[in-house]
Amino acid sequence: MKNIAVKRTIYSKNLMLLLLTLLITSCNGQVKEKPKDVSVEKEVTKPPLQFNQNTTFTQIHTNLNGMVSQFVRTMYQDTKGNYWFGTNGDGIIRYDGKTLQKMTIEQKLKSVAVREIIEDKKGTIWFGTSSGLVKYEDNKFTTYSTEVGLQNDEIWGVTIDKKGIIWVGTTEGISLFDGEKFSPFALPNDKVPNPQPMLSDKLVFKVVEDKNGTMWFATDGNGIFKYNKGEFTHLTNKNGLTDNNTADILQDKQGNIWIGTFNGGVSKFDGKTYTNFTKDGIIEGTETYNFYEDQKGNIWFSAEGFGVYQYDGTKFTQFTAENGLTTNVVQSIFQDQKGQLWFGTWQGISIYDNQKFTNAKDKEPWTN
């Protein structure tokens, strides 16, 4: 069984690399800053991004009434209660309490990959996509691209700091957006020996602001940079980081930094010491990300090919397909206002109600 699991992990990792390559070479059309009325998508003139036939999967759990051809990459419920689903190639899907609908921004954005969804203090929703930064406000979408100063349209990480500045991580570095204009934010030229980026040596996968106002940047093959008051700190495998190919970062309520990597598993950093749970043999899977802290303070994350883990502050609990999860390859984790945990996977969406995993449509019939 363990050999089978290892093979599945390698296979999943190869799929991820293929996916990253497809996304970076697709959806290159630039779009102007121009508000568009929201409407339901009625026809598709450009086919969504697809894998080769041998990399597609049968949908076991709901795929949102057939609107998701690959998987849901990110999920969010806004302060008004609307559910937002960011897909990998099928754009934005919303449920407003009455209707589940695919949102049309512009014709050329129908094959967009949506990688981040956040909400600012005014209730404006922001989407980090493969075709630029998208704003949803007053029932209208506005798309910001390289034509208005964004470093690159391929966005992977987005966060809003305490001052309201939007930090955007792209394949060409970081852009800052104050609501009116973009400005580049340069990371140091420090490089690890023999860096091995998957897409770009300038790519920033994740941007996080911690409780002290320090910004954290997870890069593609160059470790992590910390930034505070004009000073940078470079974290690499030379000073404690387990892998320079970082994938995700989360600060928990206790102030610990959780770090997921593509080749070194998951670590917890308390500001002084790294604890690598993968190296210590506590968890399985070297490719870890999708960190999420639930309402009770439990930390959740996915381990590619090994399902998901829950950390309650004392111990880890692993959940796999044997526990009802639709598949062991999970791409997104989210908790709604009811306390239900949602898991977007290669084979549909599962919900965990703190007792068991079920097909999302069995808990929320509108997802069918």
Q: What is the mean pLDDT of residues 257-278?
A: 96
Residue with tokens 């990110």: 74
Cβ(84)–Cβ(78) below 8 Å = yes
Of 30-44, 74-88, 270-284, 293-307, the poorest mean pLDDT is in: 30-44
Task: Look at residue 110 in the predicted model and tell me its pLDDT.
Answer: 56
Q: What is the mean pLDDT of residues 331-359?
A: 97
pLDDT digits (tens, 9 = 90+) for 244-256: 999 999 999 999 9
Of 99-113, 183-197, 217-231, the poorest mean pLDDT is in: 99-113
Residue 349 has pLDDT above 70, yes or no: yes
Task: Look at residue 108 in the predicted model and tell me its pLDDT.
Answer: 54
Burial class (CB in 10 A: 0-12, 13-18, 19+), 57: middle
3-class DSSP state for residue 102? strand
Task: Look at residue 6 in the predicted model and tell me its pLDDT.
Answer: 38
Task: Look at residue 353 in the predicted model and tell me its pLDDT.
Answer: 96
Task: Look at residue 105 in the predicted model and tell me its pLDDT.
Answer: 77
Task: Look at residue 113 in the predicted model and tell me its pLDDT.
Answer: 94
Cβ(135)–Cβ(160) below 8 Å = no
Q: What is the mean pLDDT of residues 34-59?
A: 42
Of 6-20, 52-66, 269-283, the poorest mean pLDDT is in: 6-20
Burial class (CB in 10 A: 0-12, 13-18, 19+), 299: buried
Would you identify the CATH topology of the domain 2-46+72-324? Answer: Methylamine Dehydrogenase; Chain H (2.130.10)
Query: H/E element holding 16?
Result: helix 2-24
Residue with tokens 């998508």: 41
Q: What gap in Å lies between CA 16 and CA 248, rounded to an integer?
A: 15
Residue 14 has pLDDT above 80, yes or no: no
Cβ(41)–Cβ(91) below 8 Å = yes
270 to each of 4, 203, 222, 255, 338, how far by Cα in Å? 35, 26, 21, 7, 31
Residue 39 has pLDDT above 50, yes or no: no
Cβ(302)–Cβ(311) below 8 Å = no
pLDDT band at 109 (very low <50, low <70, confident <90, very high): low
Residue 198 has pLDDT above 60, yes or no: yes
pLDDT band at 37 (very low <50, low <70, confident <90, very high): very low
Q: What is the mean pLDDT of residues 26-34?
A: 36
3-class DSSP state for residue 9? helix
| Amino acid at the residue 134 | V
Q: What gap in Å lies between CA 251 and CA 262, rounded to an integer?
A: 19
Integer Rg of the chain from CA: 19
Residue 12 has pLDDT above 60, yes or no: no
Token pair of 281 as six digits: 């043999």
Q: What gap in Å lies between CA 332 and CA 77, rounded to an integer?
A: 14
Torsion (CA) 34, 110, 133, 22 in degrees, nearest 10: -140
Q: What is the mean pLDDT of residues 168-180?
A: 96
Q: What is the mean pLDDT of residues 314-341?
A: 97
pLDDT digits (tens, 9 = 90+) for 268-296: 999 999 999 999 999 999 999 999 999 99
Q: What is the mean pLDDT of residues 18-32?
A: 40
Q: What gap in Å lies between CA 284 and CA 195, rounded to an integer?
A: 25
Token pair of 365 as six digits: 């019939």
Task: Look at residue 57 in the predicted model and tell me its pLDDT.
Answer: 83
Task: Look at residue 33 in the predicted model and tell me its pLDDT.
Answer: 38
Q: What is the mean pLDDT of residues 302-326?
A: 97
3-class DSSP state for residue 213? coil
3-class DSSP state for residue 103? strand
Cβ(167)–Cβ(215) below 8 Å = yes
Token pair of 1 as six digits: 């069984």
pLDDT digits (tens, 9 = 90+) for 42-52: 333 333 223 33
Residue 5 has pLDDT above 90, yes or no: no
What pTM was estimated for this model as a whole?
Answer: 0.86
Cβ(327)–Cβ(304) below 8 Å = no
Mean pLDDT of the chain: 87
3-class DSSP state for residue 365? helix
Query: H/E element holding 363?
Result: helix 360-363
Percent of the chain with pLDDT over 70: 83
Residue 30 has pLDDT above 80, yes or no: no
Residue with tokens 């509108």: 366
